[in-house]
């Protein structure tokens, strides 16, 4: 292209210039299958996604912007795909746009199909606060988009954003193993994690006539130390129960004979505790 000045006497010197047109746009068919659309979602993970575009005439780059106008990625020709990182796990993104650009300006943008990043397995799980019939599962994590799923024995028990869940109506003195995993809004799952806990022992049933309260373990008669009954008047001497309490025969040459006589006639009316009549 060129520009020249023209008047009645003729045409002046020509000056050439170049003017580039804006990039072409994408022609899309809303009824076409998703995999035939010009902008597609490739691989995706917990914190990244790959955006793929079909090339358009006149584009040097493809700018990817979010709903606030922030540039989140650039594809430079002849490349037609880029990986965008730094995303939140288990989060839906539905407001991105791809805009073809060259040095003349921007072409018409097209939306990126909505997508959801994968859920994260960055959490710890434990069983706390056991009772005879309840166990509480606790998740330690800073995740905020994930749905937590609690299960046991292949049966789902609960799902939700809560990080503490109590299982009730269990059997006392039993081990239970729980599976916990996370999901995003389209039910993609993270790696599951396990935690095992045990309910407390049931109380020993009280015997007939017992007034023991629930939760109190009854003593084992075989291990329980005997207690002397009230009114017992048997003394102990030298650590032997039932020995006479004579205090004045330790140095007597007849000590053994006195003790033997005591044992023989114990209970007789003329032997009183602690003394001997010889």
DSSP 152-163: ETTEEEEEES-S
Reported as a single tens digit per residue, the pLDDT across 53-94 is 999 999 999 999 999 999 999 999 999 999 999 999 999 999
Only one residue has tokens 């800073």, namely 142
Owner of token pair 């793929």: 52
Could you list the pLDDT tens digit for every one of the 278 residues in the chain? 556 667 777 776 766 555 568 888 887 666 666 667 899 999 999 999 999 999 999 999 999 999 999 999 999 999 999 999 999 999 999 999 999 999 999 999 999 999 999 999 999 999 999 999 999 999 999 999 999 999 999 999 999 999 999 999 999 999 999 999 999 999 999 999 999 999 999 887 766 655 544 444 444 444 333 333 333 333 344 444 444 556 666 666 677 777 777 776 665 544 444 433 33
Place of tokens 């729980």: 178
Q: CA-to-CA distance for 105 and 45, rounded, in angstroms?
A: 33
User: Is 34-116's fold the same as 124-198's?
Assistant: yes
Token pair listed for 43: 């691989």
How far is residue 261's CA from residue 133's CA, in Å, rounded to a whole number? 65
- Candidates 186, 184, 180; CA nearest to 167 is 180
The β-bridge partners of 82 are 51
> What tokens were used for 77?
């020709």
CB 218, CB 245: distance < 8 Å: no
User: For the chain, first and last CA: distance in Å?
Assistant: 152
CATH 3.40.50.261 fits 124-198, yes or no: no
Residues 6+ apart with CB under 8 A from 131: 199, 200
Beta bridge partners of 177: 196
Burial of residue 278 (CB within 10 Å: 0-12, 13-18, 19+) is: exposed
Give me the residue spans of the domains in the chain. Answer: 34-116, 124-198, 244-278
Q: Is the pTM of this model over 0.75?
A: no
* Contact indicator for 85, 134 with CB cutoff of 8 Å: no
Burial of 161 (0-12, 13-18, 19+ CB in 10 A): exposed
Answer whether 167's CB lies under 8 Å from 176's CB: yes
Tokens of 27: 């022609």
pLDDT tens profile 17-53: 555 688 888 876 666 666 678 999 999 999 999 999 9
Q: Look at residue 273 and give its three-state secondary structure.
A: coil
The residue among 141, 140, 201, 206 whose CA lies nearest residue 171 is 201
Q: State which fold the 34-116 domain adopts.
A: Immunoglobulin-like (2.60.40)
């Amino acid at each position: 292209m060129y520009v020249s000045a023209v008047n009645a006497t003729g045409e002046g010197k020509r000056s050439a210039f170049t003017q580039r047109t804006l990039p072409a746009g994408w022609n899309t068919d809303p009824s076409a299958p998703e995999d035939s659309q010009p902008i597609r979602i490739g691989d995706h993970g917990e914190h990244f996604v790959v955006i793929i575009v079909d090339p358009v005439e006149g584009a040097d780059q493809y700018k990817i912007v979010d709903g606030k106008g922030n540039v989140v990625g650039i594809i430079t020709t002849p490349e037609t795909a880029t990986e965008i990182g730094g995303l939140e796990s288990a989060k839906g993104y539905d407001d991105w746009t791809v805009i073809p650009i060259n040095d003349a300006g921007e072409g018409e943008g097209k939306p990126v199909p909505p997508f959801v990043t994968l859920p994260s397995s960055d959490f710890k799980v434990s069983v706390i606060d056991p009772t005879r019939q309840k166990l509480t599962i606790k998740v330690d994590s800073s995740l905020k988009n994930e749905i937590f799923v609690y299960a046991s024995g292949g049966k789902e028990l609960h799902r939700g954003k809560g990080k503490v869940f109590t299982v009730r109506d269990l059997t006392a003195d039993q081990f239970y193993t729980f599976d916990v995993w996370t999901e995003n809004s389209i039910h993609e799952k993270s790696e599951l994690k396990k935690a095992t806990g045990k309910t407390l022992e049931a109380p020993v049933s009280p015997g007939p006539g017992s007034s023991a309260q629930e939760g109190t373990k009854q003593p084992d008669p075989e291990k329980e130390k005997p207690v002397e009954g009230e009114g017992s008047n048997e003394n102990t001497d030298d650590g032997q129960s039932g020995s006479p309490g004579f205090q004045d025969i330790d140095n007597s040459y007849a000590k053994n004979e006195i003790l033997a006589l005591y044992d023989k006639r114990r209970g007789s009316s003329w032997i009183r505790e602690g003394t001997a009549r010889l």
